[in-house]
Amino acid sequence: MVFKLLMLGTISFLTQVSVKADPKPEDVISSVTQEIITEIKSRPELASGNLGSINELVDKKVMPILDFEKMTALAVGKKWKAATEKQRINLMKVFRQLLLLSYSGSIKFAEQAKVKILPPRRKQGAKNVIVKTRVSVPGQQAVPVSYRMKLTEGGWKIYDLNVLGLWLVENYRVQFSQIVKSQGIDGLIKEIKEKNSKLLGKSNS
């Protein structure tokens, strides 16, 4: 049950984007949700889980508002600093694919989702914030979903999310740290690639 809710929260995460000038972080979470939902409704291949179409949607709407390098670095942990530029690029590539393959099957829930932004509680001028929301779909209890965001030169960026007390990046860091400790960065890249291949095989079966 927790895994299903995490998947729903992640899909909500993948549909929260903004193109406003100097928006509040809450604006980033809410302003284009309806635009993405409308696109999903108008493109059946998205709801059916077509990876090519979902990948296109992610590139167009999601990646611009993610600090994906920070997200990957936090998931990898301390060893990120010792990684070469090539290793970092490969890590981001395979980690992105892992997230896409892990959660693409739940995108069909996004068109039914309703997101309520909770009142912010933070100091004025804060550049690193947590935005709290509640995500609901018909027939299910609302799920608390929180976003870690930071203000960058390119605007507010999301670098982590929390569903029912479980931070996505922290969850992966626990898994990755064990692999890095025993096999190093290249071993982690290899392990993620192998997992991606298995997930890809399941999606095509």
28 contacts 156 by C-beta, under 8 angstroms: yes
Please tell me the predicted confidence (pLDDT) of residue 20: 43
Residue 71 predicted with pLDDT over 80: yes
Q: Cα(48)–Cα(105) distance, rounded to whole angstroms?
A: 8
Q: What is the pLDDT of residues 42-52, one digit of tens each?
A: 888 887 878 88
Q: What is the pLDDT of residues 150-168, one digit of tens each?
A: 999 999 999 999 988 999 9
- Domains of the chain, by residue range, sit at 2-204
Question: Residue 10 — pLDDT band, cuts 50, 70, 90?
Answer: low
Match domain 2-204 to its CATH number in 3.10.450.710, 3.40.50.450, 3.10.20.30, 3.40.50.980. Answer: 3.10.450.710
Q: Sheet harboring 128-136: ordered strands across?
A: 114-117, 128-136, 143-152, 155-163, 166-167
Q: What is the pLDDT of residues 113-135, one digit of tens each?
A: 888 899 988 888 899 999 999 98
Q: Cα(174)–Cα(15) distance, rounded to whole angstroms?
A: 26
Given its phi and psi angles, is residue 95 left (phi above 0), alpha (psi -120 to 50 degrees) or beta?
A: alpha
